[in-house]
């Protein structure tokens, strides 16, 4: 198997500790890190140590003089995703861009068009779709085991403060742009990326952040004849307890990326009850509340791997075969563009004051 030559732009937390962790792992059978770009001299030095033999640059435009690059990974600041990806595509490179794909749906659609016009591969790093918990939850929701699904709740919450660049609107940052592509993406995924999905309600606010971007978000997505999806991305919830909860007419499921629980009933195991048009009474004739002992089933289990290992490795493997053989990927740029469309709508409906 011929490995592809890779250049990565950006050696921050994502570039070094997520993408880079994969490059240095046993799972990486597909790529050689040949070039690393970062404006910071110290980080370029670190890259030369952890990727022996790689060449480093301070400016990504120095890559334009090279003809041996099979893939460029854009892991820069969020506000740089669109302009740098556009520049790379126009110069004929295959590109994997970090989330968020762009600031607006227009930016995303433009990048998709450029990639098609140039005949190159464009992919977006939304690896949560490939984490073990999500396909399990998705297939469960579709299976009928929980009955008709009425609501899906997705929580990406914590209780913590931030004061870095991810708290600034000018950096295309904040909870919804930074963390939001994951839960919003999963929400649209459960809805099969239905074009009729709409933001029925949203609210953004600042709670613990020291910047001017959101760290409190509530988003409700409604779609005709499909479950309502309730999304939270907040820094003031210490008791969330789950990432995904599915409520169906026959049962309930909840999970984190590492474990799940579900409780459900099976048709025919519990007798039908006769509806009364008056109160229900006991043998003494006193009114009582409806009460029965349901025959219920419970299951629980654990997931092996997360978005940061299994998900990352799976996405990079798919991308290799997309570039070399044209095989489809689970996550398409069109899906990522629809996610940004939701984020753009939420921000348009909830403008926050600029302070920096």
Taking a C-beta distance cutoff of 8 angstroms, is the pair 37, 57 a contact? yes
Instruction: Evaluate if residue 299 carries a pLDDT over 90.
Output: yes
Q: Give pLDDT, residue 280.
A: 84
Give the tokens for residue 262.
């579900």
CB-CB neighbours of 299 under 10 Å? 13
Return the CATH architecture of domain 4-126+309-331: 3-Layer(aba) Sandwich (3.40)
Average pLDDT in the 318-332 region?
98
Residue 154 pLDDT level (bands cut at 50, 70, 90): very high
Among 229, 234, 263, 224, smallest CA distance to 244 is for 229
Instruction: Evaluate if residue 283 carries a pLDDT over 90.
Output: no
Runs of H (alpha helix) within the chain: 13-14, 20-23, 41-50, 81-90, 105-118, 133-143, 175-178, 181-190, 312-325, 333-349
Residue 356 pLDDT level (bands cut at 50, 70, 90): very high
**How much of the chain exceeds pLDDT 90, in percent?**
94
Average pLDDT in the 271-284 region?
85
Backbone angles phi, psi at 159, to 5 degrees: -130, 95
Q: Give pLDDT, residue 274.
A: 87
Average pLDDT in the 145-171 region?
97
What is each CA distance from 216 to 136, 182, 234, in whole angstroms?
Answer: 28, 15, 4
pLDDT digits (tens, 9 = 90+) for 52-66: 999 999 999 999 999
What whole-number distance in Å separates Cα of residue 333 and Cα of residue 179?
18
Q: In the chain, which segments carry CATH 3.30.360.10?
A: 130-305+340-349
Residue 108 pLDDT level (bands cut at 50, 70, 90): very high
Q: Give pLDDT, residue 1.
A: 83
As separate numbers, helices (DSSP H) first and strands (DSSP E) second, the chain gives 10, 16
Q: In the chain, what is the straight-line distance between the N-terminal and C-terminal CA atoms, in Å?
A: 49
Instruction: Evaluate if residue 71 carries a pLDDT over 90.
Output: yes
Q: Which residues contact 89 (CB under 8 A, 6 or more apart)?
A: 95, 111, 114, 115, 118, 120, 122
pLDDT digits (tens, 9 = 90+) for 186-202: 999 999 999 999 999 99
Q: Give pLDDT, residue 278.
A: 82
Q: Give pLDDT, residue 292.
A: 85
Among 263, 73, 250, 105, smallest CA distance to 184 is for 105
Structure-token match 């990522």, residue found: 336
Per DSSP, the three-state class of 155 is strand
Instruction: Evaluate if residue 276 carries a pLDDT over 90.
Output: no
pLDDT digits (tens, 9 = 90+) for 11-39: 999 999 999 999 999 999 999 999 999 99
Residue 277 pLDDT level (bands cut at 50, 70, 90): confident
What whole-number distance in Å separates Cα of residue 323 and Cα of residue 71?
9
Q: In the chain, which segments carry CATH 3.40.50.720?
A: 4-126+309-331
Answer CATH for 130-305+340-349 from 3.30.1950.10, 3.30.360.10, 3.20.20.80, 3.40.50.300: 3.30.360.10
Residue 290 pLDDT level (bands cut at 50, 70, 90): confident
Strand bridging mode 71-74 / 4-9:
parallel
CB-CB neighbours of 231 under 10 Å? 24
Among 342, 338, 322, smallest CA distance to 330 is for 322
Average pLDDT in the 234-252 region?
96
Q: Give pLDDT, residue 285.
A: 80
Q: Give pLDDT, residue 100.
A: 98
55: β partners = 35
Kindly report the average pLDDT of the chain as a whole number: 96
Taking a C-beta distance cutoff of 8 angstroms, is the pair 252, 146 a contact? yes
């Amino acid at each position: 198997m011929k490995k592809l030559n890779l250049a990565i732009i950006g050696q921050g937390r994502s570039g070094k500790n997520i993408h880079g962790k994969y490059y240095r792992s046993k799972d990486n059978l597909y790529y050689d890190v040949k070039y690393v770009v970062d404006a910071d001299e110290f980080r370029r030095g670190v890259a030369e140590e952890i990727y022996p033999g790689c060449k480093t640059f301070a400016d990504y435009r120095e890559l334009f003089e090279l003809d041996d690059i099979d893939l460029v990974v854009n892991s820069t600041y969020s506000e740089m995703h669109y302009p740098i990806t556009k520049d790379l595509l126009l110069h004929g490179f295959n590109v994997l861009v970090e989330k968020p794909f762009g600031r607006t749906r227009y930016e995303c659609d433009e990048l998709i068009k450029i990639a098609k016009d140039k005949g190159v591969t464009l992919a977006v790093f939304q690896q949560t779709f490939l984490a073990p918990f999500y396909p399990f939850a998705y297939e469960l929701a579709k299976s009928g085991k929980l009955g008709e699904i009425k609501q899906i709740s997705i929580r990406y919450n914590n209780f913590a403060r931030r004061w870095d660049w991810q708290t600034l609107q000018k950096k295309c940052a904040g909870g919804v742009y930074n963390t939001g592509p994951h839960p919003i993406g999963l929400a649209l995924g459960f809805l099969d990326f239905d074009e009729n999905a709409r933001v029925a309600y949203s609210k953004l606010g600042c709670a613990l952040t020291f910047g001017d971007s959101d760290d409190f978000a509530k988003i409700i997505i409604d779609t005709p004849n499909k479950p309502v999806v309730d999304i939270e991305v907040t820094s003031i919830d210490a008791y969330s307890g789950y990432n995904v909860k599915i409520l169906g007419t026959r049962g309930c499921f909840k999970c984190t990326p590492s474990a799940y629980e579900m409780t459900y009933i099976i048709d025919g195991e519990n007798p039908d009850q006769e509806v009364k048009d008056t109160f229900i009474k006991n043998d003494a004739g006193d009114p009582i509340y409806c009460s029965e002992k349901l025959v219920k089933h419970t299951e629980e289990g654990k997931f092996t791997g997360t978005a940061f290992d299994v998900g990352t490795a799976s996405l990079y493997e798919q991308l290799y075969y997309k570039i070399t053989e044209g095989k489809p990927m689970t996550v398409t740029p069109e899906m990522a563009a629809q996610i940004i469309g939701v984020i753009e709508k939420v921000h348009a409906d909830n403008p926050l004051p600029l302070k920096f």
